[in-house]
Amino acid sequence: MTGAPQISSLSQHWPPKPKWPLSDIPDLSDRVIVVTGGNSGIGYETVAELMRHKAKVYLATRSKSRADAAIEQLRKLPDINGSVEFVELDLGDFRSIEAFAKNFAAREKRIDVLFNNAGVACTKPTTTAQGYEAHMGINAIGTHYLTTLLLPLLKAGGVAHPDFPTRVVFTSSYMHILAPPKGFDAEDPLAEKVSPPFGFNRMLQLYGLSKFCNILSARYFQRSYGSDNIIFTSVHPGAVRTNLANDANAVVSFIKDYVVSYVMISAKQGAYTQLYAGFSPGGLIGGAYFVPYGREAATVEQGNDIKAQDAFAKWADEEVAKHPA
């Protein structure tokens, strides 16, 4: 948000110790929480922490077998008191997102916290079911569409507990700084005019743009639905050792496994900042962007631009509308 402090890359990636202990997360026995991509990495550790605090967690991801394996492991962890269930969701397919929203509404009357955590990075060039480049299709449009369809349940959460606004946390990234200089450009939404058509730089730019769109989404929803007792935020979780970018090309895999991994934080540490955005008490500013461990920080300048926030939301809605069920 305008006025949020600039926090250096160095401090974001070697952060000071957290001030707010996760043990301060309240008892979540009556809370309904959705974690997209909860079967792996940061999402998995987020689910584990929620279960320690007795939440009813829905693990929303695309592969039943990977979800089942994660759930089996989660249930074996010590101090686990909450519940976890799988609901199928492929953010790369509008039909799957719609089916998820429908199935979920048949099970639950509200959502108290939504962690928009799932994402892909540096994937080999692939497209979603409706033909969008994977980073933009899954991370940006899919996540925005899911949030749109879940709004009635999120609003119901806000009504159910007036003293604890519903929270929606978008897992963005420091890498949003790699979006093209114009950020999101409605005239060139997939950055085709500014990027090389393929290759490493193009992949990084699209990942950066998709993560920048998460920030725009959070701020758009905050302005549009914040008055429904919902707080929308975005976070950079840190540089975290996970399965992200595991299917990238050999160069990325080498850098990840043999160069960067030694300075990365664990997935458990990576879960901290989104848990902070989900549960830290009082005073959380809607639309804020947090970096490890739970510090509000400035994004690139265009992140504050209301026109850019609206332009991304309009574009995402229009793209979805081009592919009716």
Ligand X SMILES: NC(=O)c1ccc[n+]([C@@H]2O[C@H](COP(=O)([O-])OP(=O)(O)OC[C@H]3O[C@@H](n4cnc5c(N)ncnc54)[C@H](OP(=O)(O)O)[C@@H]3O)[C@@H](O)[C@H]2O)c1
User: Torsion-angle region of residue 132: left (phi > 0), alpha (psi -120 to 50) or beta?
Assistant: beta
Is residue 91 within the footprint of ligand X (CB under 6 A)? yes
Taking the C-alpha atoms of residue 317 and residue 320, their distance in angstroms, rounded to an integer, is 5
Select from 12, 31, 41, 135 the one that contacts ligand X (CB under 6 A): 41
Is residue 97 within the footprint of ligand X (CB under 6 A)? no
Active site residue 220: no
**Scanning the structure block, which residue is given the tokens 């300048």?**
301
CB of 77 to ligand X, least distance (A): 17
DSSP lists the bridge partners of residue 230 as 166
Smaller CB separation from ligand X, 34 or 138: 138
Structural contact between residues 90 and 145, judged by C-beta atoms closer than 8 angstroms: no
CB of 243 to ligand X, least distance (A): 4
Q: Which residues, 6 or more positions from 75, have their beta carbon under 8 angstroms from its beta carbon?
A: 84
Select from 31, 35, 43, 252 the one that contacts ligand X (CB under 6 A): 43
Quick count: other Cβ atoms within 10 Å of Cβ 308? 23
The residue annotated as part of the active site, out of 40, 172, 173, 210, is 172
> Within 244-303, which residues bind ligand X (CB under 6 A)?
244
3-state secondary structure of 98: helix
> Within 221-250, which residues bind ligand X (CB under 6 A)?
236-237, 239-240, 242-244
Angle between helices 143-160 and 306-321 (to 10 degrees): 110
CB of 132 to ligand X, least distance (A): 11
Select from 15, 82, 119, 287 the one that contacts ligand X (CB under 6 A): 119
Q: Which residues bind ligand X (CB under 6 A)?
A: 36-37, 39-43, 61-63, 66, 89-92, 117-121, 138, 171, 173, 236-237, 239-240, 242-244
